[in-house]
Structure 1
Amino acid sequence: MIAEFENYLAKIDDPDQQIRVRTVLDWVQATFPQLEQRYAWNQPMFTDHGTFIIGFSVAKPHMAFAPEGPAMVKFADQIAAAKYHPGKKFGRIKWTQDVDYELLRQIIAFNIADKADVTTFWRK
């Protein structure tokens, strides 16, 4: 894990939340080893050939995953079924909820495929 990810994790006060975020970040890297770790906009994120795939952030009541709008639209039903609170470009997983790793895997795989020919960081 890159130093910026470690610094980010060290700033999470609750040890259980820190472990949970570390587990998710480690899982992403292990599941998608081709993705590059990047720290920007005060959050750990993963990129593929220089384009954004997914980012994570924390707040007092939740951990958020941010895959951009098209992935949120495509997986809206699954995100609702998981009882995650959706935003336009991100979803919120309450600290009391389980992480649906299969859903995250599908979202990340979708973004990798959907952005295979994208040459910019964000979708245009």
Structure 2
Amino acid sequence: MKDFQEFLENIDELNKRDRMEGILNHIKKKYPQLKEEIKWNQPMFSDHGTFIIGFSIAKGHIAVAPEAVAIRQFEEEIKGVGYSHTQELMRIKWTDEVDFELLDKMVSYNIEDKKDMTKFWRKATF
């Protein structure tokens, strides 16, 4: 898989494809400095060679992966909007509203927090 368009074309259900495309386009428009990448067959955004946020799809949800540090930072807000989460990702059910404000906070947090990083991932802290 080479790019976001190819990723989206592989989503068979149009409503799911449209929703994922809307999320990706929102981030592309709000953060044009971020690089679009496909790694491990998943769309993600990076900044100066470091991971910012990634996405994957499952039968029941979109998985949003901003790394464990960001999940901990926004855990209460994640719960407050009704999303479930693990240490590494939060889940937006296909029936949930997308909280773009929360996504923006996670992206902005990672951009700022990782501005001096030279590695792709943070060092695991759990």
TM-score tier by shorter-chain length is: over 0.9
- 1:13 is displaced (CA, Å) by 1.1
Unaligned stretches of 5+ residues in structure 2: none
In structure 1, C-alpha distance between the alignment counterparts of 2:52 and 2:41, rounded to whole Å: 16
Q: Say whether 1:11 aligns with 2:10.
A: yes
In structure 2, the residue matched to 1:76 is 75
Structure 1-normalised TM-score? 0.96
In structure 2, the residue matched to 1:123 is 122
Identity percentage of aligned residues? 46
In structure 2, the residue matched to 1:67 is 66
In the alignment of these two chains, the number of paired residues is 123
Structure 2-normalised TM-score? 0.95
In structure 1, C-alpha distance between the alignment counterparts of 2:45 and 2:34, rounded to whole Å: 6
In structure 1, C-alpha distance between the alignment counterparts of 2:75 and 2:95, rounded to whole Å: 21
- 1:41 is displaced (CA, Å) by 1.1
What letter is aligned with 1:77?
Answer: E
In structure 2, the residue matched to 1:107 is 106
- What's the RMSD between the two structures over aligned residues? 1.1
In structure 2, C-alpha distance between the alignment counterparts of 1:57 and 1:85, rounded to whole Å: 15
In structure 1, C-alpha distance between the alignment counterparts of 2:40 and 2:16, rounded to whole Å: 20
